[in-house]
Structure 1
């Protein structure tokens, strides 16, 4: 294996979208008390991809991906691969529509994390490298200092989950507008890969996955808000 996959993100205890193989961080509050600044970002419904000097990887990292919905991303990788060094750029690939179709996408690929030599870089560094690659980051909902009231914190997070997020999500099964898929919270500072579970948390809505294992046979490309702009996808120009 040339690349180590993205760590398993533990759910908040108040996250309803857990499945049988998900893990829950029941000690999340004590973990948050050790974090000086927390970044809450929107969890997007796409494929977890990684760009490294070894190739473009999907979630498992067993081998570089060759899926058709990563074709333009792999073309982009060819242009930057020699500049990556030890950097691993993790992004949400929204090129193919999954359970949510976004009506207001500016781009198909949104960076959410960067790893270098076993260290997850700070959010500031994530933004820096994303800008260097001319890629957007996932939408930031809020950045806050160490929360001091657990009840108010959970109430605030649950209120956020009733919103639609940044890109006008539509449920592909019903065709109706829906709420955002979830929230990912992370330590704004850098941390070692072995401390991942204590520094990254998520809330996911109940029943968020509506596509089955056969979705790849009839997948559709996600449309962009302004087709023909300056995007990674050369087919749009």
Structure 2
């Protein structure tokens, strides 16, 4: 029995190359997108999805709060705000531990990308409002668009995924600069939790994952901007 509901599985665009065997693809994505008036493209960060609610800090499983060593910092922050969360559930990318890429311009280790309140995912402006209220940054906002035609929309996504991360991304294996992990596109307005799959989409670069199931044994803390040697 879970204490709360997990974050919904985000469907890939059919032109997203970074899919694995258990990923889902929205082949009819344009049927959903064309019914959305305003969309926000945000950077997909390479970290762990952590949820902060009045019940604790959760990772992949919502059956019990996480106790991993790389969530200690965010759990300390949660202690300061837990009594003010009410029915808000804050979802963010925890980049405290290095995964498949290292960022050299991080200012924080936790970036909010969504907030759930009851049966509703809040609109992007509300997400930014509450994130600021609790002193959290949001994931980088790359572009706000009014979807007009599929060809233009796809070109916009492809242009964004071809860029380096806002936080200066490097591949952990090659140590060379690399493009961002991907892009997450969402309806800028609020939508029902049960309609999640029709309002959020993602593109992930090919061959992104460089870690295996044993990465937690030797994980390293991500350095913040200013901690790298000049």
TM-score, normalized by length of structure 1? 0.94
Matched with 1:217 is 217
The residue number in structure 2 matching 1:166 is 166
Tell me the distance in 2 between the aligned counterparts of 1:48 and 1:62: 15
Quote the offset at 1:58 in angstroms: 0.1
Secondary structure class of the residue paired with 1:50? strand
Q: Give the aligned CA root-mean-square deviation in angstroms.
A: 0.8
Aligned residues: 226
The SS at the match of 2:201 is: strand
In the TM superposition, what is the alpha-carbon distance from 1:226 to its structure 2 partner? 3.7
Determine helix, strand or coil for the equivalent of 2:63. coil
Which residue of 2 is the match for residue 232 of structure 1?
Answer: none
> Secondary structure at the residue paired with 1:202?
strand
Give the Cα–Cα distance (whole angstroms) in 1 for the partners of residues 143 and 23 of structure 2: 25
Runs of at least 4 residues off by over 6 Å: none
Q: Which 5+ residue runs of structure 2 have no aligned equivalent?
A: none
Q: Deviations over 1:80-135 (max 9, x none)?
A: 00000000000000000000100000100000000001210000000000000111
Counterparts of 1:120 and 1:156, CA distance in 2: 25
Q: How far does the alpha carbon of each residue in 1:152-177 deviate from its partner, in whole angstroms, 9 at most, with x for none?
A: 22122112111002000000011111
CA distance in 2: counterparts of 1:141 and 1:72, whole angstroms: 27
Q: TM-score, normalised by structure 2?
A: 0.97
- State the distance in 1 between where 2:120 and 2:175 align: 41
- SS of equivalent to 2:57: strand
Does 1:8 find its partner at 2:9?
yes
Structure 1 match to 2:69: 68
Mapped partners of 2:216, 2:187: distance in 1:
34
